[in-house]
Amino acid sequence: MLRKLLGKVDEGRFSRALAGLAAGWQFEVGYRVFGQRGVDVRGFVKYGRKQYTVAISPKGAWCSCSDVVYRGTLCKHIAFVAMAELAHYAAERSAHREPQEVRPGT
């Protein structure tokens, strides 16, 4: 589901998200629940003095930046979160752990 989402991101935004991953952008997860159709994940993308709210679920993706709010495109922050999640799952599995759900207040 996240890979399919990444496939819909245009080349320029995909590249900028990849550069962000290499530059150490942070994704602070506030909520992550795994469902039958994919993950529902929400949190903050942070770098420098910037912070954006990103939400991805099987129903779609949203970000607080102007690319999404005004232009209706899939932005680099959404792409970055998809990449960061995939990287996290891969790291967990290679360490023989399962990616953990995150629910506020638990």
Q: How far apart are CA 1 and CA 18, in angstroms?
A: 18
Query: Is residue 61 part of the contact set for Zn ion (CB under 5 A)?
Result: no
Return the number of the residue (41 or 63) whose C-beta is nearest Zn ion.
63
Query: Is residue 75 part of the contact set for Zn ion (CB under 5 A)?
Result: yes
Of 41, 65, 81, 83, the residue at the interface with Zn ion (CB under 5 A) is 65
Closest CA to 41 of 31, 50, 49, 51: 31
Q: How far apart are CA 64 and CA 61, in angstroms?
A: 11
Query: Is residue 17 part of the contact set for Zn ion (CB under 5 A)?
Result: no
Query: Is residue 42 part of the contact set for Zn ion (CB under 5 A)?
Result: no
